[in-house]
Amino acid sequence: MNLPKYLNIMTAALKVSNLKKTYKNGTVALKGLNLEVEAGEIFALLGPNGAGKSTLIGIISSLVTASSGDVEVFGDNLTKQRNKVKSHIGLVPQEFNFNMFEKPMDILVNQAGYYGVPRKTAIQRAEKYLKQLQLWDKRKSMSRMLSGGMKRRLMIARAMMNEPKLLILDEPTAGVDIEIRRSMWEFVEEIANAGTTIILTTHYLEEAEQLCKNVAIINHGEIIKNTTIKQLLTTLDIETFILDLDKKPEADLLKALNAEVTDENSIQIDVPKSKALNESIKTIDEMGYKVLSMRNKVNRLEELFYKMTQEQKNEGE
């Protein structure tokens, strides 16, 4: 892959140092947060509601003023070179924030204009992104008439109008159906392959697992974990499976596997990583049952994420 010139420079796409934010009402949103995102990657930023994700994104995109600390985007300092930093960034916020009485085409062309993109080029770009995000047919509709999924895609298209080096997606797939979500994932992967660095916050943790290489978990205004998703998943020592059997499980089977009944013919078992799943299946077989199908009970990352934030909560108490 031929990376754009700016990616050849050994500069982090985003470097956040000791970032603090206390709101006027006294709420401490960020407590000296440090974070580095490599150029060219899709980076997951996870955290429960109120963890500080949106505040962090707000500061990076100049919507929120930091109390102290430093933010650098591709080596440019936010405080000293704010407009230069802004020109590097595209933002897809959590809430719909476009004029509902304007048409998608106008919203995109105007957004490009704010970045100094001449109107002719802006119209060409708008056509490109509206088509890529399957909104071309709706270009002349009133934006308020679009469905929730279309509105989300419109915000992604808008964020692309300045062809940013760093795209921040704050829960971009919230409330969209699985088909659209997958097409949005494809689009995100496409633009990442073209060299755009992406920071993704999401509540669909399978999304982070699917798209991202590195992850930071933020809670109570601090990064509590910053590692690769692969590394993070190795710390999960138990996996939970649902097994569908050919007949109703008896008490002796449940006792032997330390399993729970989830449905008439289904059981749930916890399998430590140190133990092979084969052993459990062998036990089932020996006791005269057949496994018809098998699946993970929950998303692994979700389980881990829940565990980590709960641990931090318990430590706090």
Partner 1 sequence: MKGNNLVALYTLCRKEIVRILRIWSQTILPPAITMTLYFVIFGNLIGSRIGQMGGFDYMAFIVPGLVMMSVITNSYGNIVSSFFGAKFSKHIEEMMVSPMPNWVILFGHVLGALARGLMVGGIVTIISLFFTQIQVHNYWIVISTVVLTSVVFALGGFINACLANKFDDIAIIPAFILTPLTYLGGVFYSISLLPDFWQTVSKFNPVLYMVNAFRYGFLGVSDVSLTVAYSIILTFVVVLTAICLYMLNKGIGLRS
Least distance to partner 1, CB of residue 128, Å: 19
Q: Least distance (Å) from partner 1 to the CB of residue 113?
A: 3
- Residue 84, amino acid: K
Q: Which is nearer to partner 1, 22 or 210 (CB)?
A: 22
Least Å distance between CB 104 and partner 1? 13
Q: Are 259 and 249 in contact (CB under 8 A)?
A: yes
Residues 202-261 that bind partner 1 (CB under 8 A): none
Q: Exactly one of 16, 19, 117, 253 binds partner 1 (CB under 8 A); which one?
A: 117
Count of residues engaged in binding partner 1, rule: CB under 8 A = 37
Region of 114-122, 232-240, 257-265, 300-308 interacting with partner 1 (CB under 8 A): 114-122
Considering only the stretches 100-108, 249-257, 268-276, 304-312, report the one whose residues sit in contact with partner 1 under the rule CB under 8 A.
Answer: 100-108
Q: Contact between 166 and partner 1 (CB under 8 A)?
A: no
* 300 C-beta neighbours (distance < 10 Å), count: 19
Tokens of 239: 């996996």
Query: Closest distance between partner 1 and the C-beta of residue 98, in Å?
Result: 5
* 11, 77, 110, 240: residue in contact with partner 1 (rule CB under 8 A): 110
Exactly one of 44, 73, 91, 281 binds partner 1 (CB under 8 A); which one?
Answer: 91
Give yes or no for residue 84 binding partner 1 (CB under 8 A). Answer: yes
Amino acid identity of residue 63, one-letter, is L
The correct pick among 80, 114, 213, 273 for binding partner 1 (CB under 8 A) is 114
80 sits near partner 1 (criterion: CB under 8 A):
no
Our finding on whether 132 is near partner 1 (CB under 8 A) is: no
Q: Per-residue contact track with partner 1, 45 to 74, x per CB under 8 A?
A: -------------x--xxxxx---------
Measured from the CB atom, the residue of 22 and 299 that comes closer to partner 1 is 22
CB 82, min distance to partner 1, A: 8
Token couple for 13: 């796409």
221 in Cβ contact with 52 (< 8 Å): yes
**Pick 4 or 118: Cβ nearer partner 1:** 118
Assigned token pair, 85: 């930093």
Residue 162 engages partner 1 in binding (rule: CB under 8 A): yes
Kindly state whether residue 86 participates in binding partner 1, applying the rule CB under 8 A: yes
What is the 3 state secondary structure string of the chain? CCCCHHHHCCCCCEEEEEEEEECCCCCEEEEEEEEEECCCCEEEEECCCCCCHHHHHHHHCCCCCCCEEEEEECCEECCCCHHHHHHHEEEECCCCCCCCCCCHHHHHHHHHHHCCCCHHHHHHHHHHHHHHCCCHHHCCCCHHHCCHHHHHHHHHHHHHCCCCCEEEEECCCCCCCHHHHHHHHHHHHHHHHCCCEEEEECCCHHHHHHHCCEEEEEECCEEEEEEEHHHHHHCCCEEEEEEEECCCCCHHHHHHHCCEEEECCEEEEEEECCCCHHHHHHHHHHCCCCEEEEEECCCHHHHHHHHHHHHHHHHHC
Binding flag, residue 93, partner 1 (CB under 8 A)? yes
95 sits near partner 1 (criterion: CB under 8 A): yes
User: Applying CB under 8 A, which residues contact partner 1?
Assistant: 23-24, 58, 61-65, 82-84, 86-87, 89, 91, 93, 95-101, 106-107, 109-111, 113-119, 158, 162
